[in-house]
Chain A
Amino acid sequence: QKEVEQNSGPLSVPEGAIASLNCTYSDRGSQSFFWYRQYSGKSPELIMFIYSNGDKEDGRFTAQLNKASQYVSLLIRDSQPSDSATYLCAFYTGGFKTIFGAGTRLFVKA
C-alpha cells in the first residue's frame, strides 16, 4: 500500500516566521511530489511541485526533496495569516494516480 505520512498538526507559527512542513512517502518509485493548500471547505490548490532531488524555490515557498530518505518538505518564509490552511503532500507514481497525505494544519498567528 503506497502511503504518505504527514504530521497532522496543528503547526502554529507567528506572522513573519518560517513554517516548515514535512512529509515522508513509502513508494520508492514515486516520480513527482506536490504540495497542495486546502482551505476549510474548499478544493486543493497546487502550490508547488518537485521531481528532482534538492531545493526548488517559488516566491515565499521552497520545496525540498530527498529521494534517498523518501522525504519531502515545504518551507514557507514570511508566513502570513492568509497562509493558515491545511497543507497536503501528494505523490504521483507515473501511473494515472496521485496519492495524498492527510495534511498538516498550519495556523499563522497575527
Chain B
Amino acid sequence: EPEVTQTPSHQVTQMGQEVILRCVPISNHLYFYWYRQILGQKVEFLVSFYNNEISEKSEIFDDQFSVERPDGSNFTLKIRSTKLEDSAMYFCASSEQLGLSYNEQFFGPGTRLTVL
C-alpha cells in the first residue's frame, strides 16, 4: 500500500541552525501539507502546497520557514534559524484531490525535531 515517508525520523539541532525535513508524498498525489505537533498539544496546520506554490499558510509559518518540491518526488520543509520553541513532531501529508467537500489526507510517520 502506498504511503507517505519522512526522513529523518529524529533530528537534533542547535538553536540558530538550519534544518531541512524531507518527505516523499504518495506518488499520484497533487496536494502536500506540513503540520506540526508540539508534545501534548494539538496538530497544527503550517502550510499547503499545490502546483509548485504555497496555497495557504498559517500564522506559524513565518519567514523562517520555507517549502520546496525540488524534484518530482520530494517535498521539503526548511527552518532557517531554529528556535527552542520549534521543537515538535513535524508531519507531512498528501492528498490526491481537493474536491468541494472532501479532502482525505494521508500522513507520514513524522520527524521529531529537537532544538537544543
Contacts and interface: CB of A to CB of B under 8 A. Distances in A.
B103 interface: yes
B100 A31 contact: yes
B104 A49 contact: yes
Interface residues of B, number: 26
A106 interface: no
Given A32-B102, A94-B100, A42 B109 contact: yes
A70 interface: no
Contact of A44 (B31, B91, B101): B91
B14 interface: no
Interface residues of A, number: 23
A97 B59 CA distance: 12
Nearest to A99: B45
A21 interface: no
Interface of B: 31, 33, 35, 41-45, 48, 50, 55-56, 58, 91, 98, 100-110
9 contacts: A42-B109, A43-B110, A46-B106, A49-B102, A94-B101, A95-B56, A96-B48, A97-B58, A100-B44
List the 3 closest pairs (A to B, CB-CB), nearest first.
Answer: A96-B48, A96-B55, A43-B107
